[in-house]
Amino acid sequence: MNPEASGHRYGPSFAQSRTKSRRAALQAIYQWQIGKQPLIQIEAWFLAEQDLRGADLGYFKELLHRIPACVEELDRGVMSCVGRVENDVDAVELAALRIGVYELLYHPEIPYRVVIDEVVELVKRFGAEQGHRFVNGVIDKLARQLRSAEVAE
């Protein structure tokens, strides 16, 4: 059984803490995309000013720092599905897509269905009205490419 899906890795709220981490990371990555501020400055602001109680701070920091570090690779994944990225994709959707592609590539312990559900929920909460449909389609297509054995099961 997968710890992310079951919520039992470190206790019953593990999945919830990851969800909170993704939510904060989406907002922080959005801020980085729009303002191009140094990541350390964005991180410091979030830790000081945002309510991150219950979030997995290690995972928040990982997403915040690793996604920009490998953004070209992540965007190539998005472009393989849609042929466009930064200038044509809504900034919230782009941040969510980058989180989803990152998790598909670098966190195989997280089931692809969890990755899809999480990024779709982020866009439903913070994105444009129908943006979640676009994100769902892209991440689903990428999951079939990147995790073909898991999807086939």
86 and 60 Cβ atoms separated by less than 8 Å = no
pLDDT in tens, 1-34: 344 444 445 444 888 899 999 999 999 999 999 9
3-state DSSP: the chain helix, strand, coil percent, rounded to 5?
75, 0, 25
Distance, in Å, from the CA atom of 38 to the CA atom of 21, rounded to the nearest integer, reads 19
DSSP-derived secondary structure for 63-128: HHHHHHHTHHHHHHHHHHHHS--TTTS-HHHHHHHHHHHHHHHH-TTS-HHHHHHHHHHHHHHHS-
∠ CA 138-101-39, nearest 5°, is: 125
pLDDT tops 90 at residue 97? yes
Percent of the residues in the chain that have a pLDDT greater than 90, as a whole number: 71
Domains of the chain: 7-152 (1.10.940.10)
pLDDT in tens, 110-134: 999 999 999 999 999 998 888 999 9
Mean pLDDT of the chain: 88
Q: What is the pTM of this model?
A: 0.88
